[in-house]
Amino acid sequence: MSWDITGWGAVANVGADPDEIYAALCAARDARAPLRAFDASKYRMRHAYEIDDRPEPGKDTVLRASSWLHTAVAQAVADAGLDDLGDVPVLVGTTLREQRSAELWWREGAEFDPVDLDFGRALRAEFGFSRTYTFANACAAALYALAMATDMIELGLADTVVVAGTDSITESAFGTLDRVQNETPESLRPFDKSHAGMVMGEGAVAVVVRRAGADPTRVRAKVRSVAVNCDGFHATAPDASAVTTVMRDAHRRAGVEPGDIDLVMLHGSGTPRNDETEAGVLADVFADAGEGPLMTAVKSMTGHTLGGSGLLSLVVAALAMREGRVPPVLGLHDPIDEAAGLRLVRDAALDARVGTAQVDAFGFGGINAVAILEAAR
């Protein structure tokens, strides 16, 4: 069983569409910059992976996450050749919704209607969608939405579904991270011994998912499976047994063995506990898979784009399949001990044939998702 991805769109700090983003990642472009959204002097962290679309530093505007969502969805439906969107469901995964707009309304009196927190009204007005849903499932939100999209198609509730994710940096979330992380990361460095924590990024991503064979001329990649679970083990710490379970479940649902996986798009949040857990689970799951798959983590260049991060990794995986080139993990010079046996792509992009890819996304509260992607034939 599989589902076709027939269109995609994305915007991030490193590019304004999927091809630009992928090219920047392969070029190992670091778009981290001094914090622009608000007064950095109040915080220990002074950098972020922001989209540079504000009128001036320190001058924020409302509905930025919605604006990027519109861009990504417009790109995706155009790429898929869709024009009649009225009955197409849209599933949006997010961590913070339009919380930044609510902050600006509260602190500065900016004009903002709470109805716009969930993106539905704006999507209906912009595209004519009649069925829109917003899911706030932490950092696995967009892959959870992808899982629900495949279920909707298999249950006959839709033939085509738009799946998306979007988030902008909020001062409340930025400030929380600044306080709770033991160290002060200036950059996000997954799986390197210098990793000091998560640094936020911004962006949106969207894909059009269709029943297999609905439009064979536009297949960008095939979704073989999406597995999800929620262990509730701890508010922030990952549970290795639950991550192992969801990874093996994704393989089972896709009908693949670990040795069939050519590439793993790592969650790679740069937090020591997450990196150590993910690396340890991967070492166990792929222990009998020969040399094992290549592995990379795009958050090293995009920052953590929160709810849409897993779906962005999925789009990058599909582009790696098409182009035969895997972006590197930026700043990976001294891998953590748990990652010693993993085939992490370092220093520069690597030419490789990728037929099957695994995409990891793990969120606070034990919200875990793993997708298996297959190249278009």
pLDDT per position in the chain (377 positions), as tens?
799 999 999 999 999 999 999 999 999 999 999 998 888 899 999 999 999 998 877 788 999 999 999 999 999 999 999 988 989 999 999 999 999 999 999 989 999 999 998 899 989 999 999 999 999 989 999 999 999 999 999 999 999 999 999 999 999 999 999 998 888 899 999 999 999 999 999 999 999 999 999 999 999 999 999 999 998 877 777 899 999 999 999 999 999 999 999 999 999 999 999 999 999 999 999 999 999 999 999 999 999 999 999 999 999 999 999 999 999 999 999 999 999 999 999 999 999 999 999 999 999 888 999 999 999 97
Task: Determine the pLDDT at residue 54.
Answer: 85
The whole domain housing 147 covers: 3-216
**Pair 211, 240 in one domain:** no
Residue type, 197: G
365, exposed or middle or buried, with CB in 10 Å at 0-12, 13-18, 19+? middle
Q: Are strands 263-265 and 356-363 parallel, antiparallel or unpaired?
A: parallel
Q: Are strands 356-363 and 367-375 parallel, antiparallel or unpaired?
A: antiparallel
**The domain boundary residue, chosen from 189, 216, 243:** 216
**Pair 106, 227 in one domain:** no
**Pair 196, 247 in one domain:** no
**Pair 66, 167 in one domain:** yes
Report whether 99 contacts 63 (CB < 8 A): no
Q: State how many domains the chain has.
A: 2
Length of the chain: 377
**Pair 68, 175 in one domain:** yes
Picking from 43, 50, 48, 273, the residue whose alpha carbon sits closest to that of residue 179 is 43
**Pair 165, 208 in one domain:** yes
Task: Determine the pLDDT at residue 56.
Answer: 78
Q: Which residue has the tokens 């070029």?
A: 27
**The domain boundary residue, chosen from 170, 188, 216:** 216
**Pair 211, 314 in one domain:** no
CATH number for 261: 3.40.47.10
**Pair 73, 205 in one domain:** yes
**The domain boundary residue, chosen from 182, 216, 250:** 216
**Pair 185, 294 in one domain:** no
**Pair 90, 28 in one domain:** yes
Torsion of CA 186, 188, 193, 196, to 10 degrees: 50
Task: Determine the pLDDT at residue 286.
Answer: 98
- Report residue 335: phi and psi, to 5°: -60, 145
Task: Determine the pLDDT at residue 365.
Answer: 85
User: Sheet holding 294-296: strands in order across?
Assistant: 131-136, 89-94, 160-167, 203-211, 3-12, 221-230, 367-375, 356-363, 263-265, 294-296, 343-344
Report whether 190 contacts 333 (CB < 8 A): no
**Pair 156, 201 in one domain:** yes
CA atoms within 13 A on the CB side of 37: 26
Give the DSSP H/E element, type plus range, for residue 12: strand 3-12
**Pair 264, 345 in one domain:** yes
Task: Determine the pLDDT at residue 39.
Answer: 87
Taking only Cα atoms into account, the Rg of the chain, rounded to an integer number of angstroms, comes to: 19
Q: What is the largest CA-CA distance in the chain?
A: 59
- Report residue 220: phi and psi, to 5°: -90, -35
Task: Determine the pLDDT at residue 88.
Answer: 96
Q: Give the integer Cα–Cα distance in Å for 224 and 281.
A: 21
